[in-house]
Structure 1
Amino acid sequence: MSNMHRILWFDQEVRSNHFPNCTQLAHQFELSTRQANRDIEYMVNSLGAPLHYDAKKRGYRYTDATFALPSTYITEELRRTLAFLSHRYQDYNYGGYDEYQAKLPIMMQVSELFRRLSDVNELQSQQIPAYEINAKIVDIANQLSKAIQNNQVLTIQYEGMEGEETHTFHPYKLCYKQYVDYVNGWCEQEEQQKLLRLDRIVRLERAEGVFRLHNEHSAAYGSSNLPVHPFTAIITFLDSKPSEAWREYNVIEQEDSIYKIEFIDVSLFVDHLMSTRDWAMIVKPKWLRDKVMARCEEITLKLSKQEVCR
């Protein structure tokens, strides 16, 4: 339920000089004092309410009598979307080192503004990436976030490379790498920590079992310190340097025409290699060359079958 009705009540109590406090708010709406305190913090930090705690009255008052609550409130659906965007912008890590360092302050500013549900018009004029919002992914991210906060084990139906898979999953953290949303956690079937793409999750539900935490992880959106170690590929290019098609990857020049490229999702990276024409050779790793070769053979086989059908 939205906190709008609680904020309206608290605002009216302050205006009536009743000096409400956290305990009274919690009692009025049968909340925990922690939740009531978050509502008051939201009024101060996000709505700009000039609240001041009066120790003598043991309650709050406005230091500016002309203050009025904003006429427009953020819905719960929009609140979840903003939280989702917050963690995306905080996980921004694309381009070269100089580009990343130049954009990092503005990315953190955007993330913090979205996290606090503040007015994004206050943002300084500077180019930032625009993200497409997929309602299904936002909903899945919201369900996963709640499961993380409550230490819940999940049964996840997942579209894997070999077809639909079922994972008994202990979710640890949401993250966003190379324009793809992931959840990191422990998979019981594979007995190891695993990344699952949110856009490949068909459905999820709570499962029986005891939640297992194998590493220290917090439950909040937007942490970029997830222990995800990227793969690296050494690739040569035809025109001495990568084209704009590679801007979403962390590309590091090694020597003339040779670059080290970091990536997280192997399948997505192979797809990218198949769709671009400016690279000349995969120097290493060999397993990546084998995967590209296997993809080419798969396509060739499909085409040859079509010729037979004619």
Structure 2
Amino acid sequence: MSNMHRIHWFDEQIRSGRFPNSSWLAREFEISRRQAQRDIEYMAISLRAPLVYIAKYRGYCYEDQTYRLPHLYMTEEEQQVLKYLAHRYRHYNYDQSDAVKRVAHLLERFTLEKQQTGSSQLPVFKADPQQLQSFEILSHAIAESRKVHIHYKDHAGERQFTWCPLKMVSQFNADYVVGYEFDPLQQTAIRLEGMIHVQMTNDTFQCQTDGLLGGWEESMPVRKPFVAKIRMREVQHTELWQGYRIRENQDQVHWIEFYDTEAFLQHLFVTEWEELLSPTWLRRKLQQSAEGIIDRLAMSSRQT
């Protein structure tokens, strides 16, 4: 384990008012007290931490409470976020895609170098904690050819099933895992955002993926974006509406681009807006989905 991980822990103990010392550090990470003391000296000398030993408490605190460790390390959580973002950038095929993919390569190496992409801006992706967790579990399952049990929810309702995951892909602002339930030839892609819970099982599967990973593209959304005309409560002053590109706006009316109809319908259910003006087919789909939910609620009320 790197000394920066230990230093990060020591810093957290100080900020929690616990007055840690070299004995604490040595015991926590199972290292010698001499090594622990070297870590503390490294903080004071190289990282310029304003450490002060308080004899009354037999531990350290910061003389200057505004001190922050220089960002020379990454926690495991930060590495998971960068891994997820690298995955998203690697599958980005639109504006400035070459520059974005170079950033993806750097992110995969977990470097902290500043990226120079000219005057262009990188696309913004929301790193939802639940999706990050699902992404991590599915990545391990794919690497080990392990089946996963998925609790899934979309406009059709909730269901649970066992899944054989083969590949992670990103298309049009949504993450998917490609896999199958029973037949390797019947592969489909399901969205991570619809996963309520994912659990890796001990069951393994065998699937020769060469030549098989391809049929699932038929279920993916079309490439040319659809455009929804939506009246908002307030004017959006950014280029994105929670991840969806705003093509233009006139006062409170906004033209929003989207690719995956089902994902956008779910987005409409959980975000605030005033009126869906067009297209008509999207209004109809939204109404059908809402009526389906109301019917299921009415049915469950009658059963109770």
TM-score calculated relative to the size of structure 1: 0.51
Tell me the CA shift for residue 109 of structure 1: 2.1
Task: Give the letter for the 2:108 counterpart.
Answer: R
The secondary structure found in structure 2 opposite 1:208 is: strand
Task: Note if 1:264 corresponds to 2:255.
Answer: no
Aligned partner of 1:136 in structure 2 is 130
The structure showing larger relative contact order (alpha-carbon pairs under 8 Å, at least 6 residues apart) is 1
Distance 2:265 2:116 in 1: 34
1:32 maps to what in 2?
none
Q: Distance in 2 between matches of 1:235 and 1:153?
A: 37
Matched, 1:82 2:75: no
Kindly report which structure 2 residues correspond to 1:224-243, keeping only aligned pairs within 5 A, or say none. 227=217, 229-231=220-222
Instruction: Find the partner of 1:201 among 191, 196, 199.
Output: 196
Structure 1: any 5+ residue segments left out of the alignment? Answer: 6-69, 94-99, 219-225, 252-258, 305-310
Look up the match of 1:307: none
Residue 163 and residue 277 in structure 1: after superposition, are their counterparts in 2 closer, same or farther (change >3 A)? closer
Contact 1:153 1:168 (8 Å CA) reproduced: yes
Please give the per-residue CA displacement for 1:160-216, whole angstroms capped at 9, x wherever unaligned: 434432221111122233333221211239983222222323131215252334555
Deviations 1:3-31 (A, max 9, x none): x47xxxxxxxxxxxxxxxxxxxxxxxxxx
Find out whether 1:151 has 2:151 as its counterpart: no
How far is 1:271 from its partner? 5.2
Does the 8 Å contact 1:167/1:188 carry over to 2? no
Structure 2 gaps of 5+ residues are: 4-69, 231-235, 248-254, 299-304
What is the match of residue 185 of structure 1?
179
What aligned pairs does 1:1-310 form with structure 2 within 5 A after superposition?
Answer: 2=1, 4=2, 72-93=72-93, 100-101=94-95, 103-126=96-119, 127-188=121-182, 192-199=186-193, 200-213=195-208, 216=211, 227=217, 229-231=220-222, 248=244, 263-269=259-265, 272=268, 277=275, 279-282=277-280, 291-295=285-289, 297=291
Q: What is the DSSP-based 3-state SS (H/G/I as helix, E as strand, rest coil) of the residue aligned with 1:230?
A: coil
Q: How has the CA–CA distance of structure 1 residues 291 and 120 changed in structure 2, closer, same or farther, with 3 Å as cutoff? A: same
Q: CA deviation at 1:250?
A: 11
Q: How many residues align?
A: 210
In 2: Cα distance, 1:186 partner to 1:298 partner: 27
Q: Distance in 2 between matches of 1:192 and 1:230?
A: 18
Give the Cα–Cα distance (whole angstroms) in 1 for the partners of residues 266 and 82 of structure 2.
31
Greater shift after overlay, 157-166 or 108-117? 157-166
Q: Is the 8 A contact 1:167 1:189 kept in 2?
A: no
| CA RMSD in angstroms, aligned pairs only | 4.5
192-201 or 150-159, larger mean C-alpha shift: 192-201
Please report the TM-score for the alignment, with normalisation by the length of structure 2: 0.52
Distance 1:215 1:249, change over 3 A: farther
1:297–1:233 CA distance, 2 compared to 1 (3 A): farther
Instruction: Give the conservation status (yes or no) of the 8 Å contact 1:155–1:207.
Output: no
Cα deviation code 1:37-83 (max 9, x no counterpart)? xxxxxxxxxxxxxxxxxxxxxxxxxxxxxxxxx99333333222211
Q: Secondary structure at the match of 1:120?
A: coil
The residue type paired with residue 230 of structure 1 is P
How many percent of aligned residue pairs carry the same amino acid? Answer: 22
What is the CA–CA distance in structure 1 between the aligned matches of 2:196 and 2:125, rounded to whole Å?
20
Mapped partners of 2:105, 2:160: distance in 1:
36
Contact kept, 8 Å, 1:270 with 1:292, in 2: the verdict is: no
The AA in structure 1 aligned to 2:73 is Y
